[in-house]
Structure 1
């Protein structure tokens, strides 16, 4: 019988990477300090000792090189999992991800694919300096050919990462740093994949739908619990896969409740929340009993750590939006 124990999201990522490398010799890891040091957050700890330096490669501090080499590996049948230390460092790799990884299948009319996974921490909340707190998931969600995943629990991190590594096309896998060691839960190392392109309904309710992903799921669930104490029946949906969106699940929930608030840590303008809102208006306008509201970070770069808690959407911000929606005449 498989042993069960509570682990963190960070440990779940490590567990999934171990499982993937055991199951498939074509899975390789590369990134800055991922081998000897086990990565900046120790997500790859123990991999080099178990699988050797030929499958767990320490690279120079060169994100463009890491991405370029990974695309080449993927085109030749390997399954590279590349780590970018922080999302704010990924921009040097965008040329390869946008111009090559995302287009390889279409460019070759299916003769080549790009089974590449890009892992990167994302988001604020760990008191890190500038460029260490980015939430720029919308940049990747806008690119055709890229799948974008953001787990918000250990179990979803484990199952989604294994599924991402199986995917024959490129996946951006963003790991919320402030959830890395928060809320451990039982994760069975059974290799079970979770479905890609699906939302996860974390709570069922009748009065209002709260839609979130990544780090903001934490505050969203806290807000939902407070609303429940006031007699409000709250449905909470973790989007998890930002591209492609599971709009059927979102639409069904909003048709049921008639009200929706979208919560995300990324800046407000042109965020994924705007795409979700527009899609729900197109699909379910006549079932809405109030305008869809968004609770987001402001349109400024992530601040230094002293201002992080003013930047990240807070529980009170979510409750204020919910009250406005619930009281809409």
Structure 2
């Protein structure tokens, strides 16, 4: 796949960062539109190798952001610029504008909604956005979901559009994952470093903190340099400070970091998928994580990258054998 015309990327999170990095030339990207200052900091990493890429933060607030997307999509339609996007949920007004304006473009989902519970519209909170969709008479164009509680955070409610217009080519999650797996190989080089990928998951923050501390102590005592990489989004961070570990800049996505780690250790982060057999998931080490949530994590990895080689350990002894 090669896009001859210029394209713009609309991103709602840091999930697509590895895919965009791998497909920068193929997609012919000239601008990346981000939704927040946090995302702007994360995507600025692209400019190190691609200084020609412009990172643009869209205005906040529903009315202003909607008008801004209207302008961006109309301009893309008139100029023939392709619109590339990745979100499975969270941008309903943008999705509605796509149906009306119909610019040419591609949808590259990075994950599925399998970790969320689909709910009836009647159960969805009556937010200002939901009421607006009701006034517009377009509620039936969306599916509605509720996420399990993540760490000490409350459940989230999100909506996902049912379909895109014919001008948008919708790809499967497997396409994105295959691209990333081909272009972000760990290679054969290993160092004496262990990366601990932190972030809220389907277990208490305190449980994660305790387990990460014991694993870091074990690795550090064996001479490994331990790095902690927290989630780019502050609301999902654990803010770990553990003796014997270096805390990396959380705004830099793992997907853009060197992959020369001996191991990459985390719970449910999609970033583990970039480390193949060097990845270690801790989902089976938490007594306070429900069997259903453990299955959700494992299925999330398998759906995103079927046949992945993540190591699911169940004890500190198993972790020490991998060191």
Tell me the TM-score normalised to structure 1 length. 0.33
